[in-house]
A and B are shown apart, each in its own frame.
Chain A
Amino acid sequence: MLGHLTRETRFLIKDRGALFWLLLAFVLSIVAVTFGIAEVSEQRETIATLIKEDAADRANALEGQEDWGSAAYYAFHLTYAPPSDFAFAAMGQRDSSPWKHRVRMLALEGQIHEADTRNADFGLVGRFDFAFLAASVAPLLLILLLYDLRASERTMRRHDLLVATAGSSRSLWLPRALVRVTALVLLLLIPLWVGAMIEGTAASLALQASGIVVASLLVWWLIVELIGRLDASPSILLTSLIGLWLALAIVVPAVSKAAIEAANPVPDGGEILLLQRETVNDAWDLPAEATMEPFVERHPEYADHSEIGEEGFEWKWYYAFQQVGDQVVEPLATQYREARLARDAQAGLASWLSPTSLVERAFEKLAGTDARSMIAYENQVRAYHGELRAFYYPLMFPEEPFDADALSDLPAYDPQES
């Protein structure tokens, strides 16, 4: 076998066509990884700047405040999801879902859907990241490398002679294809490994990613092998393979996506906002009890402190109706989140029909850039917003005297917490 392999490696080195595709794979992989690392470090830089600016801004906002209510009103708090150490390989949903917010203790539903995403053209076209390369482009390169192994020998009229002299076809075609597939896999993965080392990705993660690439290319190899056995001209073989690639990489995902989205309608986001705004705005005109009752239902511990006086404006009441605004849209917001999760779960099932979708989703999952991770980040923002309320409510409702020093104990956002 070793002899066959070295022979085929020598052949490969002389095959300029094959070398071109392999070199292309290598260059594309370097490009994808380089851009990925650049983008990730830019996002980290952005986060670092934001943390600094946010702290300065909050200190400035809190300075000179005289009551809990104004402090909570004017102080914004940064929340963010830092890119993982593998995000360079798959930017995934980070281009279309927000990964940073600045929230304050007002109704959360009015804040959490703000999308601080990039240039819309970016989200539309998508990035050239490693996941895209491995999922969509690499199979095409593999097809171009392997489709005419047999057929070209047929065209050269050497096929039958080769088969006859080689003894078993296994010692002939298998090493030839194996050498090419191995070369492709290595050239794709080497830049990824270098990138992983630079980024300090866990070895097990890099290994899993490599396993995914190898497995997907093996599947494509099998497909090429099966089609390649047809006794047809190279161009017909290539046409059929391209057609198959098109079906698996574009048509099947698009059809499943359309079907999944039709089957799982998402509540209109506008309605969530509208309802929340209406509730908060109507509260101004309603008697204070209309707000305090549902509030106390959620927070019975403040039942004794829910009396709102006739005269003057009270922050207690203001924050209570912010909270009630969130409470009213809770079912809709939950539905929105659940529908997104359901779509994602079904997309996970549907992706078994398409190796490209499967690879991209697997990469996004490893990189923490899949829909689930983005929703997890949203949940973190919700939890943090809850902490803010838990900090202020016990001070604000029993009307504890304002103490500026107490504000240094404000909960800090921790992206690692879950």
Chain B
Amino acid sequence: MSELSVNHLLGIKYLKKEDIDLIFKTADHFKEVINRPIKKVPSLRDITIANLFFENSTRTRLSFELAEKRLSADVINFSAASSSVKKGETLIDTVNNILAMKVDMVVMRHPNPGAGIFLSKHVDASIINAGDGTHEHPTQALLDSYSIREKLGEVANKKILIVGDIMHSRVALSNIFALKLQGAEVKVCGPKTLIPKYIESLGVSVETNLRKALEWCDVANMLRVQNERMEMSYFPTTREYTQQFGLNKEILDSLNKEIIVMHPGPINRGVEITSDVADSKQAIILEQVQNGVAVRMAVIYLLASKINR
């Protein structure tokens, strides 16, 4: 397969295994590029990309912006906090106004699930979903799988554990889709209140005992506790959560194998993961961030090659 099967990256659900392979193969080349003395290629000189962030983000926005600039695209940034959205403009109007300025591609983060899909049906631009509410965060899942592949050689048949707030996490959902597509085994672990009732229909297993789950896995992806998405209490106190589902050095060292620890950031140090674990050599959190730029470059490059051809 020599090109993506999709014109937008709205979610991992819409991708094929071959798409992921192509993205990773392309990302390998960009990873080499971003480690050069001059970390820039001129491929996207004639492409303009708008980064529309209707929800706060630091890492993802910087990562996308850097990826776009490393490909020599022109970049405009928009954040809802300082825009006409506050004056009551609709999403389609906002985006069409931006596209009227000749923008080819839109990277969007939005608090509503499905915002990217909705937009892709109404506007004429390539859309990349940078997180839509509790739905999907496809580039995060891709960079997570890419990091696993880099560390373990392949994703297929590896045992991946996702710990934390599965219910509100778009990172968890995209990761489950991506990992299953690549043939990995997936288990989720967290308080029962934060694990969706029908999660097993996605082909993942559930474990509520963190130690047992850790004994099983090759990789543990520790999700952030998303206090901002919890409109009610799902667990008694943060301290209790930490005691039951927090990863500390003691548990990690007591396992009979060395597992890889991942975290999509931002870390609540001392809540889902302690500082000594986050800074240990088993943690690949900063590698994930570096790979994020390469993977996003690959996604943008591959989608851009399909614009107006």
Whether A and B are associated in the same complex: the answer reads no
Chain A residues within CB distance 8 Å of chain B: none
Please list the residues of chain B having a beta carbon within 8 angstroms of any beta carbon in chain A. none
